[in-house]
Amino acid sequence: MTAPAKRRRTTTNKSEPCVSIEPTSIEDCIGSHRLAHNAAYHQFTSESDRQRVQKALLTWFDAKQRTNMPWRKPARLDMTKEELAQRAYEVWVSEIMLQQTQVATVIGYYERWMASFPTIYDLASADLEQVNTLWAGLGYYSRAKRLWEGAKKVVQELEGCLPNNAADLEKQIPGVGPYTAGAVASIVFGQQTPLVDGNVIRVLARLRAIRADMKKSNVVDLFWKLAGALVPKERPGDFNQALMELGATVCTPANPACDACPVQSDCHALNQWHLHGRLTEQGFWNKKTPQDESEHECEFCPAIDHDLEHEEYAVTRYPVKSEKKPPRDEECSVAIVEKVLKDGSSIYLISKRPEQGLLAGLWEFPSVELAIHKKKSIYAARSKQNAEYLKQRYQLDLADLDAACQDLDHVVHLFSHIRKVYYIEWVRITSTEQEPSLSQHDGHPSESKWIPEADLKTAPIPTGLKKALKLLDKAKSVKHSSAKRRQPTSKTTPSNTNASITSFFTKKETS
């Protein structure tokens, strides 16, 4: 095999009105030993290239698309205005749920959501507590509130139908960014507009061999322009879904199935790997052949400062993996306060978080933020803080009550930017009350309630604190087993006289 052909060096003069730049060839790129190329190397340079990719992806999508997603339906051109409005609502809900969340997790939430809020009118008329209850456990809770706010705006100002184009969707609907706008506009309304998410970035980065920092605005713009150049006029929604589907099922981060890829012949990353492999097998690099002196002229990808080994040409070198800032550490002392009433049933104390900030509007057990220390947290100190907080905030003076406290260890929950450690204490109060009262004295306008034990698992409590309930269940199981060995016949029967949590979270009807 002959040496890769040298490419004529091409430069641009910004003062010239228009300069056509010939893309670097793959042969020149490999011949440089350092993947030297120009910016035009990343473009789809001909209409035939674009049409080939479009046809291959759509054909593959028709045959291989996943059919277990309840929000995915065949595109129709004969929908009425009412049908379009409903379809837009369904796609909007699914796309918001799918942000930062896996498909398998979303399916169940989506089905429960649509059963409770089948139309945008149902969502708009719902109480935010109902919305948060359905969303509990899905994470990124501000998404639920934005959906609810958006539904209200669409019903009140837009006659119940989302805008039919990406620009207006992004401009008018709370929480809708470029990706969601592109998804709804193309999938529902057939607008020839792109969308870019993590899967699309990975597919395009490999198709065009882009190893650039995604934190830079010009790189983000490049991916949107590439995606826009590929979207066909016919079936834009299916094409966008095909790009995402390819990234999710074939062009995966660590183990891409390149042999099953419908666009492998157009993939720069794969072709680079194959060409370098062939040259290596033929001993080309061992010959005394002068190295191609092509200069790196790409404004997006940084220059490589060493000759690459064959394994460094792997498809998985694309896209570049951005360094993530490590999450900050936070610690919190949590008191699961159980009150055992005179009939033997139990109720639990929960409080509503502020409407702004992390986990806004959700409910939690009484919690005290802790200062981070290098030394291990001491239970005695945490327990004292909990007792002081319960006395100040709720007028629960454990010293004057028949209370038993137990350390339940800790749970860890990872947010996108926080590593949160919850230290859990079980505070069990034996009471002679049947209908307990609750006082607050911290001056904050938040709500607190006692709820029955049966409602704990369905309450809109953050996932991190639902992990704490597992510790409580474990402790109760151990305690119950021990008591059963001592008193085999002792049992307690929960009372049905306690109000359901829905009575706290649902507005009362007025006559």
- SS3 (DSSP) at 20: coil
Rounded to whole angstroms, how far apart are CA atoms 191 and 193? 6
What backbone torsions phi and psi does residue 10 show, to the nearest 5 degrees? -120, 130
CB 468, CB 336: distance < 8 Å = yes
CB 206, CB 270: distance < 8 Å = yes
Rounded to whole angstroms, how far apart are CA atoms 493 and 257? 57
Rounded to whole angstroms, how far apart are CA atoms 326 and 328? 6
Non-local CB neighbours of 40 within 8 Å, separated by 6+ positions: 21, 22, 23, 24
Q: For residue 440, is it left (φ>0), alpha (ψ between -120 and 50) or beta?
A: beta
Which position has the token pair 């006395």? 391
- DSSP state letters, 58-95: HHHHHHH-----TT-----S---HHHHHHHHHHHHHHH
Q: Write the CA distances from 258 to 253, 255, 276, 314, 440, integer angstroms.
A: 12, 9, 16, 11, 61
46 alpha-carbon distance from chain centroid: 35
For the chain, state the CA radius of gyration: 30
Rounded to whole angstroms, how far apart are CA atoms 316 and 318? 5
Element at 26 (helix H, strand E): helix 26-31
| Catalytic residue from among 95, 245, 297, 331 | 95
Q: Which of 463, 227, 465, 501 is nearest to 337 (CA)?
A: 465
Q: Which of 307, 276, 277, 305 is nearest to 291 (CA)?
A: 307
Handedness of CA 213, 52, 78, 70 (dihedral sign): negative
Pairing of strands 328-340, 418-430: parallel
CB 331, CB 411: distance < 8 Å = no
Decide if 433 is catalytic. no
Cα end-to-end span (Å), the chain: 89
Rounded to whole angstroms, how far apart are CA atoms 184 and 95? 8
Rounded to whole angstroms, how far apart are CA atoms 61 and 264? 15
55 alpha-carbon distance from chain centroid: 30
What backbone torsions phi and psi does residue 305 show, to the nearest 5 degrees? -100, 15
Looking at residue 338, the DSSP 8-state letter turns out to be E
CB 173, CB 153: distance < 8 Å = yes
CB 462, CB 362: distance < 8 Å = yes
Catalytic residues: 95
